[in-house]
Amino acid sequence: MNNFAQSGNQRVLVYPAKTPKVSGKQVYFLFALGQIEDIIRELKVFPLPFSPSYILGLAQWRDQVLPVISLEKCLKLPQGNFISDTNDKIGIKKDHALRPVRLILIRSDNRNIRGLLSVDSAIRLIPRPDSCPALSPGSWLSQKKLVKGVYEWDEGFLLVVNINDILNGEINIKGGGLWNV
Partner 1 sequence: MIMKEFMLFQVGHLRFCLELPYIKSVYRISDISGISGKNKENKDFLVCILDNRKVPLYDFSIIFDIKHSAYDPEFHKVIRIELENDIIALRVDHVDGVAEVMENLVTPLPPVIKGKTLEWFPHVLQFEQELIPVLNPRGMTVFRPDVTETDDEKTCEALNNELDSLFLNMINQDELANRFVVSLEQVLGKCLYRELSNFKSLMGKK
DSSP conformational letter for 121:
S
Closest CA to 43 of 97, 109, 124: 97
**Residue closer to partner 1, measured from CB, 63 or 154:** 63
Q: Is 90 in the site for partner 1 (CB under 8 A)?
A: yes
Concatenating the DSSP letter of every residue in 56-120 gives EEEEEETTEEEEEE-HHHHTT---TTPPP-B-TTT--BTT-S----EEEEEE-TTS--EEEEEE-
Size, binding site for partner 1 by CB under 8 A: 37
Q: Is 50 in the site for partner 1 (CB under 8 A)?
A: yes
- Of 1-9, 75-83, 125-133, 161-169, which part binds partner 1 (CB under 8 A)? 161-169
- The H-or-E segment that residue 151 falls in is strand 147-153
Q: Is 16 in the site for partner 1 (CB under 8 A)?
A: no
- Of 6-14, 57-65, 122-130, 149-157, which part binds partner 1 (CB under 8 A)? 57-65
What residues line the site for partner 1 (CB under 8 A)?
A: 44, 46-52, 55, 58-60, 63-67, 69, 87, 89-90, 92, 96-97, 113, 115, 166-169, 171, 175, 177-181
